[in-house]
């Protein structure tokens, strides 16, 4: 313990002997500090214009509190920040997006006028009837971005307090969507498939004590008896089920993906190989 330099008696004595010199050093240090602060303040003054605007934008970007809603509904709630105006006091009012899918001559125009008579609803009509907006996937996405960001001007455009915004899409205009071919990243394909698989395994594990039925798309397409099984599960009388859904992606799977050759190369020989042959043409 005596070896500890801080408790050593000699050391303490030396310290007090040097007290006057340490006071001198303190004074010098103070002067240096005051000079430093002064120089700093001059520098800050010169930077002021730039920093001010940066701080301002941070304040404006403060995120809105999620509203008091059920957890399952959270993904459907949005807080758009229009570029062309400010949502002002409704900045943090949640907005829901919708699309009316309909066939022509089915009364959807009348339905839309009913919706638009509500102060918080803005349904922007058949915006994709204008050819240039649906000319390719990127013009479609740009148009949708504008609408859902509340930056779209039309007779239906409401004020900054719009709480539901949408459009009408005629099902017979869906061919352009069908023509859109995704480019699938082959490096990420297997990891992504694995991730989806893990997710469904986890979900099944989570709900294993809950009554459930697993339904694969392939079952519904290829085996109509599956539908009877589902009706039994739901305890409803068996009926012949029909859907008026219009299938927009027609033709072989290989024609639906831009880089199909890459997909073949990536999946051949893996346990996902069967996905390559899953053609559900009817
Ligand atoms: C999409 O269409 C617009 C308008 O016709 C055009 O300006 C743009 O270059 C097209 N983009 C692509 C990726 O084809
Ligand atoms: C609906 O609009 C009114 C008037 O603009 C606004 O005061 C109200 O907060 C809006 N409601 C919602 C749910 O956004
Ligand atoms: C595929 O994704 C990886 C990882 O995100 C990326 O590094 C790579 O550039 C992508 N490849 C293509 C062809 O887009
Ligand atoms: C069709 O589904 C039923 C029950 O859902 C099953 O028992 C049967 O084996 C399936 N048939 C084929 C050909 O997959």
- In this predicted structure, what is the pLDDT of residue 164? 86
- In this predicted structure, what is the pLDDT of residue 267? 94
CB 140, CB 176: distance < 8 Å: yes
- In this predicted structure, what is the pLDDT of residue 275? 87
Look at residue 88 and give its three-state secondary structure: helix
- For the stretch 29-63, pLDDT in tens is 555 555 454 444 443 444 444 444 444 444 455 67
Query: How far apart are the C-alpha atoms of 37 and 41, rounded to whole Å?
Result: 6
Determine the distance separating the centroid of ligand 1 and the alpha carbon of 138, expressed in angstroms.
7
Ligand number nearest CA of 262 is 3
Question: Residue 211's Cα: distance from chain center in Å?
Answer: 31
165 phi and psi angles, rounded to 5 deg: -130, 140
Determine the distance separating the centroid of ligand 1 and the alpha carbon of 133, expressed in angstroms.
9
Query: How far apart are the C-alpha atoms of 102 and 156, rounded to whole Å?
Result: 19
Whether residue 131 has its Cβ less than 6 Å from ligand 1: no
| Plot region of 107 (φ>0 → left; ψ -120 to 50 → alpha; else → beta) | left
Q: What is the pTM of this model?
A: 0.46
Low-confidence ranges of the chain (pLDDT < 50): 1-18, 35, 37-59, 281-282
Which of 91, 97, 120, 165 has most ligand 2 atoms within 8 Å of its beta carbon, as the pocket-test mutant? 120
- Ligand 3 atom at minimal distance to the Cα of residue 186: 1
CB 123, CB 167: distance < 8 Å: yes
């Amino acid at each position: 313990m005596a070896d500890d330099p801080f408790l050593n008696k000699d050391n303490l004595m030396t310290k007090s002997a040097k007290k006057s010199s340490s006071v001198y050093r303190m004074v010098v240090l103070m002067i240096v500090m005051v000079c430093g602060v002064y120089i700093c303040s001059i520098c800050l003054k010169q930077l002021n214009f730039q920093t001010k605007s940066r701080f301002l934008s941070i304040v404006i970007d403060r995120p809105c509190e999620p509203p008091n809603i059920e957890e399952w509904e959270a993904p459907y709630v949005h807080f758009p920040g229009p570029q062309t105006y400010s949502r002002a006091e409704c900045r943090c009012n949640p907005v829901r997006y919708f699309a009316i899918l309909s066939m022509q001559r089915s009364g959807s125009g009348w339905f839309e006028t009913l919706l638009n008579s509500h102060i918080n609803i803005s349904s922007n009509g058949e915006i994709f009837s204008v050819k240039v907006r649906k000319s390719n996937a990127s013009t479609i996405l740009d148009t949708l971005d504008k609408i859902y960001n509340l930056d779209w001007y039309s007779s239906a455009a409401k004020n900054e307090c719009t709480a539901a915004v949408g459009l009408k899409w005629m099902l017979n205009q869906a061919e352009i969507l069908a023509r859109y071919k995704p480019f699938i990243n082959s490096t990420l394909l297997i990891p992504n498939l694995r991730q989806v698989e893990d997710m469904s395994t986890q979900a099944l594990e989570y709900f294993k004590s809950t009554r459930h039925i697993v339904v694969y798309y392939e079952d519904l397409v290829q085996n109509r008896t599956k539908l009877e099984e589902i009706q039994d599960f739901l305890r409803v009388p068996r009926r012949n089920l029909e859907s008026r859904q219009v299938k927009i992606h027609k033709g072989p799977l290989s024609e639906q993906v831009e880089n199909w050759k890459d997909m073949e190369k990536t999946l051949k020989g893996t346990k996902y190989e069967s996905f390559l042959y899953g053609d559900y043409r009817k």
